[in-house]
Structure 1
Amino acid sequence: MTKNFRQIASGKVIVSRYDGVVLRMLSFLLLLSGFAFSTAHGEHSFCQNLTASPTLTPFVDPLTIPPTIDVSTGVQVTLGAYKITQKLHSELPATTLYAYGTSEKTASLPGPTLEATRHKPAHVRFENHIPDSETFLITDTTIHWANPARGGVPIVTHLHGAEAPSDSDGHPDGWFTARGETGHKFVTQNYTYPNSQVAATLWYHDHTVGITRNNVLAGLAGFYIIRSPSEEPRNLPSGRFEVPLMIQDKQLWTNGSINFPDVGDSPDNHPNWCPEYFGDIMLVNGVAWPHLDVYRAKYRFRIVNAANARFLTLSLSEPSLQFIQIGTDGGFLPFPMYLDNLTMAPGYRTDVIVDFSRLPVGTAVYLNNSAPAPFPSGDPDFSPPSTNSVMAFRVVREPAGFRIPQFAVPRTMGPMPVPSYDSKSVMRRSLTLVENDDADGNPLGAVLNNHTWMDPVTETPKVGSVEIWEIINFTPDAHPIHIHLIQFLFLNQQAFNQTAHDAGDCTLDEDFPHPESCFVESPQRPDLTQVGWKDTVIVWPSKVTRLWIKWTPRDGLPFPFNPVSGPGYVWHCHILDHEDNDMMRPLAMLY
C-alpha cells in the first residue's frame, strides 16, 4: 500500500517524497489553506515521509524486563490504562505514552507480564484512567472509529491468542472511556480467561475500532504467559534465563514525542490515515536498541512482534549461533527447529532458545533484522540502516560462586498435529483480500472478501466443525491474518498469475496444471516459520493460502464456555493501519 509519489491536499500537486524542499513549501501552503493540524512539534508529518528521528547511540541502555503479576490465584487483578512518560533512550527526553499498569506510577511499556497457569481461570478488570479529551496521536475521523460523543480516549483490551468467551475477548466495538461512555458491543470491564488451553506465549493489546494503530503505538501492550508445569518439557531455561522480548518500531522527535503522520496518502479522502506506519528506531521492551548481559548459558526468549506494520526477519550476528525454535503462536512445536533466521509478521510470537555457552566472555552478539518494508517487496526508505539492528547480547562472566544451571533442549515436545478432514464434505470458504485506491493510485484502504467492518456477518462457523479457509491475496503486500478464539494449521499455499486473472484470461476454479487455470504451481507446503499451531498467518501476494480450522479449543475438547453468546469474535489483518480502515470482519459462532 505504498507509493513513490503522492497527491497532497486539494491543489493536486504531485511531489516526490524525497524532495524535502518541496515538502516544506507544501507544509506552508497547507498552513495557509487551513488544512493544517496543530502538532506539538510544530511540523507536519507526511505519511511514509516522516522526519528522521534524532541520531542515538545504540546498545548503551540495558534491556528492561517488565514486572510480572500472578493471575492464577483466583483473585481479580485490576489493570488500568494511564497516560505516562517513559524514557525510551537515555539520550532523549521522556516520551508521552499510554500504558497498562496497576497504578499510574507502575504503568509502563510494555505493561506487566500476566503469568497464568493452565486450568486456573484468571480474572482481570480493565480500567480507563486516560484523562485526554482525544488521543495525542491524531485520529482520522473519516474512517469508521469509536467516536465517543463526549470525547475521551476509548480503549478495549484483546488477549491475542486466547480461547476466551467473546465478552472477554476485547470486541472492537466493546470500548469504553474514562468518562463512562461505551461502545454498542460493550458488555463488561471484568474479563475472565479460562486458561484451559495449552502452555503458550500470548500478548494483550488495545483493540478499539478505528484507533488500534494509535493506541498500540502509544504503548498499550503487554505479555500474557500460560504455563502448564506438569505438561511442559523439563529443564528449559527459566528464571533470569527466560526473557520476554517485545519488538516495535517508532519514529521520534527530538523532544522525545512520537512522530505520527498528520497528512495522509490520499488527504482528499482520508486527511490523516496512512496505509502503514514504519519507524526508524527499533525498540525492545520499550528501550531503543538495548543490550542484555548474558552468561555462557542457554537462554529462552519469548519474542512478540508488536509493530504496527513492520515485518521482522531476525538473525544473529555470531555465525556459530542459531535460533532453536521450540514454540509458536499456539504453544510448543512437536520438535525443535534449528533456524538461521526467523520471519515474524505483526502479531507473531516465537519461542526460541539461544545457546551462548560456547562463546568467550566479552563477545558481543547482535540481533539483526533484514525484512523489507513493506513486506515482501520493500522500499529502502522504509528500512533505513537503523532498522537493521534490534539489540545486543553481551557475554559476561558470571559472579563468583554462581553456578550456571545446565539447561537442556528437548528432543520432542508433543505429537505432530495432523489436519484431518473429508475433502468432499468439508466446509470451504473462499475469502479475498482486495486493496482500494483513489483516482491517482493512492491507497484508500483494503477489505476482506469485499465487505467492510460494518457489513453483516458472513463467517458463521459451527462449533466443532472443520473448515478450510482459502484466502486469496489480490493486493501487492503480504498480510498477517489473525483469527480470534481458535488456533489453526497452515495447509499449503499456491501462487497464481494475477495479471492473467485480472484480465479474465484464466480461472482459479481449475486446478494446476489445467490449461485454463491461473495457478502457476502445485500447492506448496508452508515454510518453517509457518509450521505448528498458529492464530496469525502470513498471506502472501498473488497466492492462495489454505488453512485447516477446527472450531474447538486447541486440544479438541469442548469449549469450557459458551462461544455462541456475547458480542462475537472477529478476524482481520494484523497490520494495524489496515485493520483500522475496514480490513476486519465480524465472526459469529453457531451451534
Structure 2
Amino acid sequence: MNEGVMATHCILVTVKFFRLISWTLLIPLLFEKVTAQSSICQQLDPSPNLQMFVDALPIPEAIDISTGDKLTLGIYKISQKLHRDLPSTTLYGYGTSQAKASYPGPTLKATRGIVSHVRWENHISDSSHFLPVDTTIHWANPKSGGVPIVSHLHGAEVESASDGHPDTWFTAQGETGSKYVTQDYVYANSQPPTMLWYHDHTVGITRLNVYAGLVGIYFINSPSEKGYNLPISDFEIPLLIQDKQFYANGSLNFPNVGDSPLIHPVWCPEFFGDTILVNGKAWPYLNVQRQLYRFRILNAANARFFILSFNNSKLSFKQIGTDGGYLYKPIVLSTLTVAPAFRVDVLVDFSSLAPGTDVLLMNSGPAPFPSGDPAQSPNGTDIVMKFHVVTADSYATGASSSVPSTFQPDAAIDIKDVAVRRNLTLKEFDDSSGNPIISLLGNHHWIDPVTETPRLGTTEIWSIINLTPDAHPIHVHLIQFHVLNQQSFDATGYLNDSCSLSLEYPNPGSCFTENPRQPNVDQIGWKDTAITWPSNVTRFVIRFSSQDGSSFPFDATAGPGYVWHCHILDHEDNDMMRPYVLL
C-alpha cells in the first residue's frame, strides 16, 4: 500500500473509531439484541416461503408528458401487495396523488424534441425514515427531521438544476440541501429515443429510498421509430427488476447491523435480497402470444448484477438497444449481463413455441459480482419470472411486427479529438478484520473540492483503474459515452509500487498483463453506465456535448453541477461518488 493510500486508511479508521468510541461499551448489548428483529449485514433471516408465478406481471400506469402541461409527481408513504400470500408492505411511491402512488412509479412518456415539465413534491410527513439510517456516513441529515428526497432522471441530457443533484434534497417540512435550486424540473428530451429511469438520489440514503420503492421508467419516443415496425402496445413491455427481502408481516428486511459496527453501526457494503421482483411483484408470470415481443429491461437493484437467460433453447435475445438508445444492428445473445442501472432493449420471438409452453427467465449472476458467495444467491434468486404461451384470442395491434436488420448508424466519437486523459482509481478501505468500511473514487471523498472540470464540447478519455475485488457499474451524469477498451493489470504489483501504469496511452506500463481488448458485448453502444472489472483498466471515451455531437439546448456550465459515481447504491452512499463541473 502506497503512502497516500496508507494515510487515508489510517485517518479513516482513527477518526471513525474515536467518533464512535462509545460503541465499545455497547457491543455486548448490540449482539445480545441480534434476534429475529435484527438484520445483520449479508446474514438476513430468509423471507417467508412464497409460491412463484401466482401473480400476473403488472404494467405500470403510463402518463404522457409531451402535452406541454406540467406534471406534478408526489412522493408518498404507501402500502402495497407485492405477492398474493404476503401481507401488504410499507413503501415509498411516486404518484399524482396519495391514492395513485405506487411502486414502481408511473411510466413517463416523453417525445423527442418536446420539452417536459415535472414538479417533484415530498409528502412524507414521518419524522424519520422507516428503514435504518446510518448517521456515521455522510448524508443529508436534515436538522428538523423528516425524510429527504430528490429525483434524478438517469441517463438524461438535462440542465444540472433539474438533474437531481444529491445535495438538492428537500423534506416535506420545507428543509433543503445545500445546493437546492427548485422542485420544478425541465427535461429537454433532445436526445435520441431511448429508455431512461427516474429514482431518488439523496446524498447518503439513495440505497434506502430506492429500496423503499422510489423508482420509475421514463421513455423518450420519436415518430421516426414507426419505420422500424417494432412491437408496440401489448407487445412492448417494461421489466423493472429488483431484489428484496421480507419479514413474515410483509415489511421490508434491510440490514440494521453493519459488517463493521465499531465504525459503521448500520451500513452494509452491499445489499442482496432473496426475492426477485419484476414491476413490483415477486416472481410474476406473463401470458404471451406466439408473436414477437419487445422487452425494455431495467436493473433497478441496489447491488445485484443479473445474467439473464431462458430455460428453453428455442429462445434467444435479439438486443436492439442499450442505455443511450438503438444499436446499429441487432445482436443475437443467449445471455444478457445487466448491471445495476443498465437498460437493455431486446426482442424475443415466441412463435416457435406451442400453446401451453412455460418458459422461465433465469438469472445466473453471482453476488457479489463477479466473485460470488453462494450465501448471497439462495434458491429463488436464479429465477426472475415465467412466460406462459397462450393462443391469441384475437388479432392485436403490433402482432405483425418484425426484426429490423439495421437501425441508425452509431455516431462514433473520434479519439483524435481527445483533449484530456484522466487516470481515476477505484479503491476500497477495510477495517482491521478485512471488512469494507468505505470506497473512494480517485482517493477523494464526496465533500472534497471538485477535481474533474471538463470543458464543454471537448472529448476526454477516462481510464478507470479498479483496485477493488468487485466490479463497479460507473455512471456519469448528463452524457452518454463509449467504452473504448478494457485491459487487465497486476493490481497487487501496482499497490506495492513494484510496477507502473503509464499515464501516456497507449504506452502500456509494466503492470499491464495484456494488450487492450475490445469491450465486452454488454458494453457496446452508447452507455451512461458501464462495468469496470476488478484488476482492469476500463477506458471511457466521453464527449461533453449532446449525444449527436451538437451543443446542449441549455447551459450545462450552470450550477449546481453534475456527479459521477458507482451505481452499487450502498457504495454510492458511502462516498463512492464525486462532483464534476463543466467549464
Q: TM-score range by the shorter chain?
A: over 0.9
CA 34–327 in structure 1, closer or farther in 2 if over 3 Å, else same: closer
- Identify the residue that residue 126 of structure 2 maps to in structure 1: 132
Which of 46, 62, 67 is the equivalent residue of 2:61?
67
Q: Determine whether 1:360 maps to 2:354.
A: yes
Q: 1:143 aligns with which of 113, 130, 137?
A: 137
Give secondary structure in 1 for the equivalent of 2:224: coil
> Would you say 1:219 and 2:219 are equivalent positions?
no
Q: 1:409 to 1:50 in 2, by over 3 A?
A: same
Q: Distance in 1 between matches of 2:513 and 2:548?
A: 36
3-state DSSP class of the match of 1:385? coil
Q: 2 CA distance for matches of 1:325 and 1:103? A: 36
Deviation at 1:528, TM superposition (A): 1.1
After superposition, the C-alpha distances for 1:452-489 in whole angstroms (9 at most, x for unaligned) are 00000011000000000000000000000000000000
The Cα offsets for residues 353-386 of structure 1, whole Å up to 9 and x where unpaired, read as 1000111100111100000000000000001121
Partner of 1:21: none
Find 2:114's aligned residue among 109, 117, 120: 120
Q: Distance in 2 between matches of 1:71 and 1:447?
A: 38
Deviations 1:281-321 (A, max 9, x none): 00000100000000110110000000000001000111011
1:396 alignment partner, one of 381, 390, 393: 390
Unaligned 5+ runs, structure 2: 1-16, 18-24
Q: Distance in 1 between matches of 2:31 and 2:379?
A: 33
Q: Name the SS of the counterpart of 2:381 in structure 1.
A: helix
Q: Does 2:281 align with 1:302?
A: no
Q: Give the Cα separation in 1 of the matches to 2:349 and 2:509.
A: 51
* Separation in 2, partners of 1:327, 1:558: 24
Report SS of the residue matched to 1:387: coil
- Map of 1:14 onto structure 2: none
Query: Offset of 1:509 from its aligned partner?
Result: 1.4
How far off its partner does 1:513 sit? 11
- What secondary structure does 1:351 align onto? strand
For the pair 1:573 / 2:566, whether they are aligned, the reply is yes
**2:222 corresponds to which residue?**
228
Q: Which residue number corresponds to residue 333 of structure 1?
A: 327
Give the match for residue 276 of structure 1: 270
Q: Map 1:4-43 to 2 at 5 A.
A: 33=29, 43=37
Q: Any conservation in 2 of the 1:199–1:232 contact (CA below 8 Å)? A: no
Report the number of matched residues: 560
Match of residue 92 from structure 1: 86
| 1:173 counterpart (167, 170, 173) | 167
**Is 1:503 matched with 2:496?**
yes
Distance 1:508 1:392, change over 3 A: same
* Shift of residue 566, structure 1, vs aligned partner: 2.1
Find the residue that maps to 2:571 and give its secondary structure: helix
Q: 1:364 to 1:142 in 2, by over 3 A?
A: same
Supply the distance in 1 between the matched residues of 2:147 and 2:410 (Cα, whole angstroms): 45
Q: What is the distance in 2 between the residues matched to 1:198 and 1:298? A: 24
Q: 8 Å contact 2:411–2:548 — kept in the other structure?
A: no
- Residue 4 of structure 1 corresponds to none
Asked whether the equivalents of residues 232 and 398 of structure 2 are also in contact (C-alpha less than 8 Å), the reply is no
Match of 1:484 in 2: 477
Q: Could you tell me how far apart the structure 1 residues matched to 2:396 and 2:437 are? A: 58
Q: Which residue number corresponds to residue 530 of structure 1?
A: 523
Q: Equivalents in 2 of 1:511, 1:427: separation in Å?
A: 11
Match of 2:247 in 1: 253
1-structure distance, mates of 2:470, 2:261:
22
Matching residue of 1:460: 453
Alpha-carbon deviation of 1:336?
Answer: 0.5
**Residue in structure 2 matching 1:371, options 340, 365, 373:** 365
Shift in CA distance, 515/258, structure 1 to aligned 2, threshold 3 Å: closer
Question: Could you say what secondary structure the match of 1:64 adopts?
Answer: coil
| 2:492 partner SS | helix
User: 1:156, 1:498 → 2: CA distance?
Assistant: 37
Counterpart-to-counterpart distance in 1, 2:398 and 2:296: 20
Match of 2:73 in 1: 79
Measured after TM superposition, the shift of residue 229 of structure 1 is 1.3
Q: Look up the SS of the partner of 1:108 in the other structure.
A: coil
Instruction: Determine the C-alpha separation between the residues in 2 that align with 1:217 and 1:490.
Output: 29
Distance (Å, rounded) in 1 between the aligned partners of 2:152 and 2:531: 20
Cα distance change, pair 94–515 in 1 and its aligned pair in 2 (3 A): closer
Q: For each residue in 1:384-439, what CA deviation from the matched residue of structure 2 results, as whole angstroms up to 9, or x when unmatched?
A: 1210000000001111566872111111101133231227x631010000001111
Moved more, 509-518 or 112-121: 509-518
Q: In the alignment, does 2:58 pair up with 1:53? A: no
* Residue among 411, 414, 434 paired with 1:417: 411
**1:516 to 1:589, Cα distance in 2 relative to 1, 3 A:** closer
2:421 to 424, 428, 432: 428
Q: RMSD between aligned alpha carbons?
A: 1.9
d(CA) in 1 for partners of 2:397, 2:137:
57
Contact 1:511 1:517 in 2 (8 A): no
CA contact (8 A) 2:234 2:398 kept: no
Post-superposition shift, 1:561?
0.2
- Look up the match of 1:545: 538
Match of 1:6 in 2: none
How far residue 234 of structure 1 moved from its aligned partner, in angstroms, is 2.2
Aligned mates of 1:403, 1:51 — CA distance in 2: 46
Structure 1 counterpart SS, 2:542: strand
Shift of 1:501: 1.9
Contact 1:513 1:521 in 2 (8 A): no
Measured in 1, the distance between the counterparts of 2:269 and 2:28 equals 26
Would the alpha carbon gap of residues 327 and 34 (structure 1) be closer, same or farther in structure 2, given more than 3 Å must change? Answer: closer
Does the 8 A contact of 2:81 with 2:89 survive in 1? yes
SS of 2:148 mapped into structure 1 = coil
1:510 Cα offset (Å): 8.0
1:441 aligns with 2:437: no
Which of 238, 242, 253 aligns to 1:244? It is 238
| Percent sequence identity over aligned pairs | 60
Distance in 1 separating the partners of 2:503 and 2:190: 42
Match among 97, 106, 115 for residue 103 of structure 1: 97
Separation in structure 2 between the aligned mates of residue 88 and residue 310 of structure 1, nearest angstrom: 19
SS in 2 for 1:386: coil
The 5 A counterparts of 1:546-561 are: 546-561=539-554
Query: What do the CA deviations read for 1:334-354 (whole angstroms, capped 9, x no partner)?
Result: 100000010011000000010
Q: In 1, are the aligned partners of 2:561 and 2:579 still within 8 Å (CA)?
A: yes
Paired residue type of 1:223:
I
Q: Which residue of 1 aligns with 2:444?
A: 451
Q: What is the rounded CA distance, in whole Å, between the counterparts of 1:223 and 1:237 in structure 2?
A: 18
Per-residue deviation, 1:445: 1.0
- What secondary structure does 1:422 align onto? helix
Determine if contact 2:197/2:216 at 8 Å carries over to the other structure. yes
- Specify the code of the residue in structure 2 equivalent to 1:183: G
Secondary structure at the counterpart of residue 299 of structure 1 = strand
